[in-house]
C-alpha cells in the first residue's frame, strides 16, 4: 500500500505533467496559427493554391521607377528578377526603403499578382539584404 506521502507526490507529479502538457499544446497551437510564410514572387506564381486572406510575407527588390504614391496609399512592384508582384500599402515606409533596395512586406495576397501589405519591414543597415533575397539572387545568378 502506498503511504500518504508517496500518494501525494504521485498526484503532484501527475498534476504537473498535465499542466505542462496543456501548456505545450497551447503554445504549439498558437505557434501554428501565427507563423508567417515567406515567399518570393516566383514562388507565388508557381503555387497552385494561393493562400489568399492568410497573413504572409513577400520579399524581393523594389523595382526601379515603380513607386507610385497618391493621396491614400503607396504602390510599388517587388521583383526577384524573374517574376513581379504589385504591392499596395497604406502607411509610412521605414528608413532605408528605396527603389532598387531589398524589401520584405507583410500582409495578404489578393491574387497572384496583387498583395496588400500591412507592414513594411525596416532594416538598420544600408548594406543589408534579407537572407532569403540574397539566396534568391544567388540562385538566379546561376
Backbone dihedral region for residue 102 (phi beyond 0: left; psi -120 to 50: alpha; all else: beta): beta
Query: Closest CB to other proteins among 71 and 142?
Result: 71
Query: Closest CB to other proteins among 11 and 27?
Result: 27
Q: Can you tell me whether residue 56 is helix, strand or coil?
A: strand
The three three-digit cell numbers of residue 22, written as one number: 496543456
Query: Closest CB to other proteins among 4 and 127?
Result: 127
Q: Which residue has the cell 499578382?
A: 113
Q: Which residue has the cell 496559427?
A: 33
Contact yes or no for 93/60 (Cβ under 8 A): no
User: By CB under 8 A, what part of segment 54-73 binds other proteins?
Assistant: 55, 57, 67-73
Going residue by residue from 14 to 53, which x/- string records binding to other proteins, judged by CB under 8 A? Answer: ---------x--xx--xx-xxxxxxx--------------
Minimum distance from residue 95 beta carbon to other proteins (Å) = 5
Q: Which residue has the cell 515567406?
A: 38
The three three-digit cell numbers of residue 96, written as one number: 532605408
Q: Please count the residues of this chain forming the interface with other proteins, following the rule CB under 8 A.
A: 44
Q: Give the single-character DSSP code of 103.
A: E
User: By CB under 8 A, what part of segment 72-91 binds other proteins?
Assistant: 72-74, 90-91
Q: Does 131 bind other proteins (CB under 8 A)?
A: yes
Query: Closest CB to other proteins among 11 and 68?
Result: 68
From residue 70, alpha-carbon distances to 73, 88, 106 in Å are 6, 11, 21
Binding site for other proteins (CB under 8 A): 23, 26-27, 30-31, 33-39, 55, 57, 67-74, 90-98, 104, 106, 121-128, 130-132
Amino acid at each position: 500500500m502506498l503511504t500518504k506521502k508517496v500518494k501525494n507526490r504521485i498526484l503532484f507529479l501527475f498534476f504537473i505533467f498535465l499542466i505542462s502538457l496543456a501548456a505545450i499544446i497551447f503554445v504549439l497551437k498558437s505557434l501554428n496559427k501565427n507563423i508567417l510564410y515567406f515567399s518570393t514572387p516566383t514562388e507565388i506564381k508557381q503555387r497552385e493554391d494561393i493562400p489568399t486572406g492568410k497573413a504572409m510575407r513577400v520579399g524581393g527588390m523594389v523595382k526601379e521607377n515603380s513607386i507610385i504614391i497618391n493621396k491614400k496609399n503607396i504602390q510599388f512592384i517587388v521583383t526577384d528578377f524573374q517574376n513581379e508582384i504589385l504591392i499596395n500599402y497604406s502607411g509610412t515606409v521605414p528608413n532605408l526603403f528605396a527603389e532598387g533596395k531589398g524589401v520584405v512586406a507583410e500582409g495578404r495576397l489578393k491574387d497572384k499578382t496583387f498583395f496588400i501589405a500591412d507592414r513594411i519591414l525596416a532594416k538598420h543597415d544600408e548594406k543589408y539584404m534579407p537572407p532569403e533575397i540574397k539566396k534568391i539572387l544567388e540562385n538566379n545568378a546561376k
